A and B are shown apart, each in its own frame.
Chain A
Amino acid sequence: EAGVAQSPRYKIIEKRQSVAFWCNPISGHATLYWYQQILGQGPKLLIQFQNNGVVDDSQLPKDRFSAERLKGVDSTLKIQPAKLEDSAVYLCASSLDTGFSTDTQYFGPGTRLTVL
Chain B
Amino acid sequence: GQQVMQIPQYQHVQEGEDFTTYCNSSTTLSNIQWYKQRPGGHPVFLIQLVKSGEVKKQKRLTFQFGEAKKNSSLHITATQTTDVGTYFCAGPNAGNMLTFGGGTRLMVKP
Q: Interface range on chain A: under 10, 10 to 19, 20 to 34, or 35 or more?
A: 20 to 34
Among A16-24, A63-71, A103-111, which stretch is in contact with chain B?
Answer: A103-111
Report which of A41, A93, A101, A109 forms a contact with B31, defined as CB distance below 8 A. A101
Q: Counting CB contacts under 8 A, is A72 at the interface?
A: no
**Closest partner residue, chain B, to A91 (CB atom):** B42
Interface residues of A in 67-111 (CB under 8 A from B): 91, 93, 100-102, 104-110
**Closest partner residue, chain B, to A43 (CB atom):** B100
Complex CA–CA separation, A56 to B45 (angstroms): 21
Report which of B41, B48, B90, B95 forms a contact with A58, defined as CB distance below 8 A. B95
Count A-B pairs with CB separation below 8 Å. Answer: 51
Report chain B residues within 8 Å CB of A41.
102-103
Report chain A residues within 8 Å CB of B4.
42
Does B44 contact A107, Cβ atoms closer than 8 Å?
A: yes
A102-B31, A102-B48 given as contacts; is B95 within 8 A of A43 (CB)? no
Q: Counting CB contacts under 8 A, is A48 at the interface?
A: yes
Report chain A residues within 8 Å CB of B92.
100-101
Closest CB-CB distance, A93 to chain B, in whole Å?
8
Does A43 contact B43, Cβ atoms closer than 8 Å?
A: yes
User: Footprint of A on B, CB under 8 Å?
Assistant: 4, 30-31, 33, 41-45, 48, 50, 88, 90-92, 95-103
Q: Could you pull out 16 A-B pairs where Cβ atoms are within 8 angstroms?
A: A42-B4, A43-B43, A45-B97, A55-B97, A91-B42, A101-B31, A101-B96, A102-B30, A102-B48, A102-B50, A105-B45, A105-B98, A107-B43, A107-B44, A109-B42, A110-B42
